[in-house]
Amino acid sequence: MRIGELSRRTDVSVASIKYYLREGLLPPGELSSPNQAQYDDAHVRRLRLIRALVDVGGLTIAGARDVLAAVDDEQVSLYAALGRAQDAVMTRTEPVDDDATARAEKAVAEMVERRGWTTSETNPGWRTAVDVLAALDRHGGERVAGLLDVYAGAMETVAEHEVAAVVDTEQRERSIERVVTGIVLGGALIAALRGMAEQSAAAARYGGGAAPGGGAV
């Protein structure tokens, strides 16, 4: 198929498709003549994956490109692809160096130790966790920070199920795609469910008035 049909089938404008091609998110079609290319179902799939990562998962175009490059690269292990996807999802902050950070670092290190996690400070989550804890500390959110173990326990369960569900010795490319969509979209799903659970928990405690949400006001 040519670009027009690809556009129709995926509901992505021709201009956007060209943009993704230029940015290297979508591999070029096969040229049948110097200025005529053919696209196939793989392009349709890829385009849908891009939309899912960007629209639903909230990745930037650059983040999506990195993740997709890992999917395409035969050299990249499933384990490394997982890290790549995490990198793309996590917002990086430049490190500060104060008391709050020192305390936060200690809290994270102790938690990891306590739970026996096999992870290291090079994991992007580690730094982010420290940053968040430090911010909570600075702002008097110690009550929330005190839930570190509750959060960690919940994520431990989630991660075990996810890894078990996603990893499966099939064709490598499909498996990596699953890992990547799992990391990115799973994160969005977790955030969504947390919102619902929170409303529910608050309602239980207050006999809940009108439901929150529904846009601006």
Partner DNA sequence: ATGTATGGAGAGTAGGACTATCCGAGTTGG
Partner DNA sequence: CCAACTCGGATAGTCCTACTCTCCATACAT
- Comparing CA positions, the residue from 70, 58, 86, 55 lying closest to residue 25 is 70
30 or 160: CB nearest a second copy: 160
Whether the CB-CB separation of 210 and 115 falls below 8 Å is answered with no
Is 24 a binding residue for DNA by CB under 7 A? The answer is: no
Nearer to a second copy, 42 or 189 (CB): 189
Among positions 65-104, residues that touch a second copy (CB under 8 A) are: 66, 77-80, 82-84, 86-87, 89-91, 93
Residues binding DNA: number (CB under 7 A): 27
Cα separation, 70 vs 176, whole angstroms: 8
Give kind and range of the element (H or E) at residue 30. Answer: strand 30-33
CA-CA distances (angstroms) from residue 191 to 171, 184, 187, 194? 30, 11, 6, 5
Q: What residues from 29 to 68 belong to the interface with DNA (CB under 7 A)? A: 29, 31-39, 54, 60-62
Q: Is 189 in the site for a second copy (CB under 8 A)?
A: yes
Q: Which of residues 113-142 bind a second copy (CB under 8 A)?
A: 117-120, 122-126, 128-129, 131-133, 135-136, 138-141
What is d(CA 83, CA 33) in angstroms, rounded to the nearest whole number? 40
Binding site for DNA (CB under 7 A): 2-5, 13-16, 18-19, 21-22, 28-29, 31-39, 54, 60-62
